[in-house]
A and B are shown apart, each in its own frame.
Chain A
Amino acid sequence: MDAMASIPKRVGEIRFGLLSPREVRKMSITPIITADTYDDDGYPIDMGLMDMRLGVIDPGLICKTCGSRAGDCPGHFGHIELVAPVIHVGFNKLILKSLRSICRNCSNFLLEPQRKNEYLEQLQQLKIMGHSTDDLVNDLFKEARKTKVCPHCNEEQVEIKFEKPSDYIENGEKLTPTEIRERFENMSDDDVRLMGMDPSNARPEWMILTVLPVPPVTVRPSITLESGQRSEDDLTHKMVDIIRINQRFQENREAGAPQLILEDLWELLQYHVTTFFDNEVSGVPPARHRSGRPLKTLTQRLKGKEGRFRGSLSGKRVNFSARTVISPDPNLSINEVGLPYAIAKQMTLPVNVISRNLEKMRQYVARGNDVHPGANYVIRADGRRIKVTDVNCTDLAEKLDIGWVVERQLQDGDIVIFNRQPSLHKMSIMAHHVKVLPYKTFRLNPAVCPPYNADFDGDEMNLHVLQTEEARAEAEILMKIQENILSPRFGGPIIGGIHDHISGMFLLTRTDNDISKNDALDLLRKSHIRQLPEPAGYRDDGEPYWTGKQIFSQLLPDDLNLEYVAEVCFKCDECDRENCENDAYVIIENGELITGTIDEKGIGAFKGHIVDKIVKEYGSTKSAEFIDDMTRLAIRAIMRSGLSFGISDEDIPKEAQMHISEIISNAEDEVKRLIEAYEARELEPLPGRTLDETIEMKIMQKLGVARDKTGDVAGNHLGLDNSAVIMAKSGARGSMLNLTQMAASVGQQAVRGERIRRGYTGRTLPHFSKGDLGADAHGFVKSSYKSGLNPTEYFFHAVGGREGLVDTAVRTSQSGYLQRRLVNALQDLEVQYDGSVRETRGVIVQFKYGEDGIDSTKSDYSNPETIHSIVKSVTGKEVEQ
C-alpha cells in the first residue's frame, strides 16, 4: 500500500451514473444489520455502524479491510438491505417525468415505434458529435406526455400527479415505490435511452432504492468528548434511525401486522432515507437532534457558502495574514500602510542568513521576540525550527550561522499586500510598504480609499505578508499603489484628491491670493518643496506676498503643459477660455498655473486631468510624490481658511422664501388646471400615450420644473462664500440638488420613476379624497429638509426612500452572483506574448486582446486616439479632427 500511495495517479475519465443494487452490494464490505454501535466494553460491534471493517479513524489501529493506519485507510462502504423500496429524493423530478412518459400497463415509452427509431437515431448523432442531448430528451418527454393512449397495448393513460415530498398519485391513489419500480423494470433498453440515460450506467428503477450504501466511518468520524464520552456524527445518527425502522418494518411484516401499520412504517422509512440524503426538502420536517438542532446530512454537507465546494474546496485560508479596522492617516504616503506594533511583532518574514547579513540578523535574534524589530523563529541548517524567546535569544544569536533562516518581524519598508472585500477588481488588492505605528488600526492615506472603496465607518481590511523574494519583487513591480493609479476601466486615475483635498485646492487656487512668506513656507511644509518662487508682489508695508496658484505650481513638474475646462465651468454657450470670468479655464504653462481654478477636474480621483497627465508622462514614482505633496498641501490650505457647514448655511432671505412658495403654489395651480382639463376630457394625449399616462407625465414635468426653479432661487442666494456651494461646485462632495433639497424644496417622491400611487383604493392615504390627482396627494414634498416635512410628506419620503434601499440590497446580491459566475468562466484566460487571449488548452478566445490590442490604462481616458495629443505636444498645434 505504501508503494501504491506514492505513485501519482491521473484521472482518465469520470462517468456519472446511478448505483445499481448490485454495485452497492459489490462495493460493500459487509451488510449492516444492527443499529447498535459499540458493545459494553466500548468495542465496535460486528455488522454494526462502527464495524471495524468500515475503516479506521483512531490513531494506532489498523484497518481490518486494507491493513493501513488511520489517515492512509480511505474507508470502506457497507450496505443496508432495505425491507421495502423507497424513493431517492434527489430524483423526484426525473421519476415524475419518466412515469408520465411510459405506459402504465406495458411500460413502453409512449411513442409510435417508428418515431422512437427516428429519435434514437438523432440521439446517436448528437452523442457522436459531442453535443448535449438535454434539449432533445426534454422534447421527447413532452411529446410522450401528450400521448393519451398507448400505441403498443392501447391502454388509456392517466395523468400522474406529484405531491410533496415524494408521493405519486394516479387515479387518486398513491403509487407505492414497489409499483413504480416495477414499471421501470419492465422498460426496454432502447426506451431507457430515449429518456437520455445509458441503460448500462443508469436504469430508471435504480432511482428507487432497495439497497442503501453505508458511508465509511472516515466520512462520519465520531469525536471523543473531554468527558470520555463518544459523540457520533449526524450521518451515523441518521443511519441508526434507518436501521431501526427497517428492522421494525421487517418484524411487523413477519408478524403479519395490519396493512395500515405497515404503510405507516413504510412512510417512516421513506422519511428517514429522505432526510439522510437531504434534511431541507420542502414539505418534510427536518430531522433534529435531541437539542433541537437540525441534523447536517449529505446535502447540507455540500450545499451553500460553508459547504464542501464553496467552503472547503474553493475556499482558501492562509497564514501570515492580519485583519483589523482601518483609519485614515494623511501623513503616510499613498504607498504606505500603517501597521500596529502588536501586529508587526507577530508577523514574520524569512531571511536566509548569509555572510553579508549575519551580523545584522544576529541583532534581530538577540532582541528576542518582544522587542521590535526582533525575530520569532530561527530555522537551523538541518531544518529544525526553534522559537525565539526571552530565555534563549542571546544563546541563539550567538549560534546563528550561515545557512540558517531567521523569521524576523516586520519593520518599516517591508512590502505587504493589502486587501478590502469585496475584491471586485484588481485594485482591491494592492501592495504597500509597511510603516509600523502605535495603536491598533491599519492606517492608510485617504487618497487610496476610491480603489478599495473604503471608508472609515468601521471598515476592516486584510493584510498579507509575502514570504519569498520573487513574490516581493512582483508585488513591488506590479501591485504597488503607484503602479495602479490608472484604472484599466476608463484609462484615467482612480487615485487622486478626494473631499477636502478638492475643497482645499479650490480655496487655495481661487481665493487665496495674499500669502505671506511665513504662511507660504507653512503651506509647503509637508511637501518636499523647500523653495519659493519670485513673489507675486509686495504689500504696502513692503512685505512680499504669493498667490495660491504660485504655491500650487511649485508641485508641478517644470515642463508640464496642460489646458482643460475646470469642474466649476458654467458651461457658457461660448467659452472665453483664458478670459473666463469664472476662472474656470485652466492653463498650465511650463509647470506654472497661469489661469483657472484647481478642482475635481484637475486633481480628483477619476476625473483629475493633472494627475492623469503626470502619471502618463512622468511615471508612477513622480505621480505618487505629486499626489502625496498635493493632498498634504490641500489639507494645509483648507486649514488656513477653515471650512465648516452648519444649519445656518441653509438660511435664505425672507423674500427668497416667499419667491419659492410662490413658484410652488403657481406650479400647484398649473397642476390643478391640468387636472381640470383632464376631467373635462379636453387634454390632448401625447403621441403614443394614453390619456392617463399623459396627465401623469405633464404633472411630473410641471413639478420637476418648479423644484428646479426653487433650486435656482436658493442657489442665487447661496454663493461661493457658502461652504456647501464650494463643495458642490468644486466636486468635493454633495451637489446643488442636495442643497436645493435642504434649503428650498425636496420635490417629487417617486417609486419606479412614477408618482406614488399605491396605498388604499383610489387614494394614497386617507387624508386625501378618492381620485385626487393633485401634487400633494401623490408624493410631492414642497417643504425643504430644513423647514421640515409635514406628516404626509414625511410618509411619502419614506416610501420613496425605501425603494433606494431595496435597490441597493438587490443590486449588491445580484452583482455578487454575476461576478462569481463571470470569474469562474474567465479565470483561466491569459494574454499570450503574441497578443492573443487563450484558455488553458491553448484555444484562442481573442486573436487580439480586447479585439483592438489596446491597454486601456495607456490610452487617454480609453480614447484610442492618443496620437492627437502626442502630435500636439510635439508640434504645439491642435490636430484637425
Chain B
Amino acid sequence: MELKILNKTDYEINMEIHGEDHTLLNVLKSILLEDSRVEIASYDMKHVNVSEPILYVKTDGTDQVTVIKEALSKLISRCDEFNEVFSEAVKAC
C-alpha cells in the first residue's frame, strides 16, 4: 500500500491510496459517514481498469486526521468484534 495526499486544508483532505479498492474504501467511507462530525466522505476510482481510489473527507471543522484515525480504530474494533463472535459461533456448532 502506498498513500499520496493530494491536498489538505484545515478540515478537508484528498488522498490517493494505491493498491486498495472498494473492499477497504467502501467500508471506511461508511464508517466515516456514521460520524456526525463528518460532513462529506466519498471515494472514487476515476477509471475502473487503471486508476487508484481517491478518498475525500470534509468535516464540520474538527481536525480531519483525528476523525479518520478514529474511524480506522472503529473499523479495527468492529473487525475484532466480528472475529470474536465468529470464532465463538464456529466453536459452538
State the A residues within 8 Å of B (CB). 331-332, 435-438, 517-518, 521-522, 524-526, 530-532
Contacts and interface: CB of A to CB of B under 8 A. Distances in A.
Contact of B49 (A438, A517, A521, A526): A438
A530 B33 contact: no
Nearest to A329: B47
Nearest to A521: B42
Interface residues of B, number: 15
B49 A530 contact: no
A518 B46 contact: no
B93 interface: no
Contacts of A332: 47
A525 B44 contact: yes
A530 to B, nearest CB: 5
Contacts of A438: 49-50
Given A530-B56, A530-B58, A437 B50 contact: yes
B20 to A, nearest CB: 16
Given A518-B30, A530-B58, A524 B47 contact: no
Given A517-B33, A530-B40, A532-B40, 17 more contacts: A331-B46, A331-B47, A435-B47, A436-B50, A437-B47, A437-B50, A438-B49, A521-B40, A521-B41, A521-B42, A525-B43, A525-B44, A526-B44, A530-B56, A530-B58, A531-B40, A531-B58
20 contacts: A331-B46, A331-B47, A435-B50, A436-B50, A437-B49, A438-B49, A438-B50, A517-B33, A518-B30, A521-B33, A521-B42, A522-B42, A525-B44, A526-B44, A530-B40, A530-B42, A530-B56, A531-B40, A531-B58, A532-B39
B24 interface: no
Contacts of B42: 521-522, 524-525, 530
A331 B48 contact: yes
Nearest to B44: A525
B6 to A, nearest CB: 12
A310 to B, nearest CB: 41
Nearest to B30: A518
Nearest to B45: A331
A332 B39 CA distance: 28
A645 to B, nearest CB: 26
A802 to B, nearest CB: 44
Nearest to B33: A518
A435 B48 CA distance: 13
A546 to B, nearest CB: 13
Interface string B45-61: 01111100000101000
A518 B27 CA distance: 12
Contacts of A436: 50
A526 B42 CA distance: 10
Contacts of B58: 530-531
A435 B41 CA distance: 28
A531 B40 CA distance: 7
A530 B42 CA distance: 8
A517 B42 CA distance: 11
A531 B11 CA distance: 13
A436 B50 CA distance: 9
- 7 nearest interchain CB pairs? A521-B42, A331-B47, A525-B44, A530-B56, A518-B33, A525-B42, A437-B49
A521 B48 CA distance: 19
Contacts of B46: 331
A852 to B, nearest CB: 45
Contacts of B50: 435-438
A524 B29 CA distance: 14
A873 to B, nearest CB: 34
A530 B46 CA distance: 14
Contacts of A526: 44
A438 B44 CA distance: 20
Nearest to A517: B33
A530 B54 CA distance: 12
B77 to A, nearest CB: 21
Contacts of B39: 532
A474 B30 CA distance: 47
Max chain A Cβ within 10 angstroms of own Cβ: one of B39, B42, B56 = B42
A522 B42 CA distance: 7
A531 B39 CA distance: 9
Contacts of B56: 530
A525 B46 CA distance: 10
Contacts of A437: 47, 49-50
Contacts of A524: 42
Nearest to A525: B44
B21 to A, nearest CB: 14
Contacts of B43: 525
B32 to A, nearest CB: 10
Contacts of B47: 331-332, 435, 437
A721 B55 CA distance: 37
A333 to B, nearest CB: 10
A656 to B, nearest CB: 45
A437 B43 CA distance: 22
A525 B58 CA distance: 14
Contacts of A331: 46-48
A531 B50 CA distance: 26
A509 to B, nearest CB: 21
Please indicate which of the listed interface residues B40, B48, B56 has the most CB atoms of chain A within 10 Å of its own CB.
B40
Contacts of A532: 39-40
A566 to B, nearest CB: 30
Contacts of A522: 42
A530 B48 CA distance: 20
A573 B47 CA distance: 48
Contacts of B44: 525-526
Nearest to A439: B49
Nearest to B43: A525
A363 B28 CA distance: 38
Contacts of A435: 47, 50
Nearest to A524: B42
A526 B44 CA distance: 7
Nearest to B51: A331
Most chain A beta carbons < 10 A, residue from B33, B43, B44, B46: B44
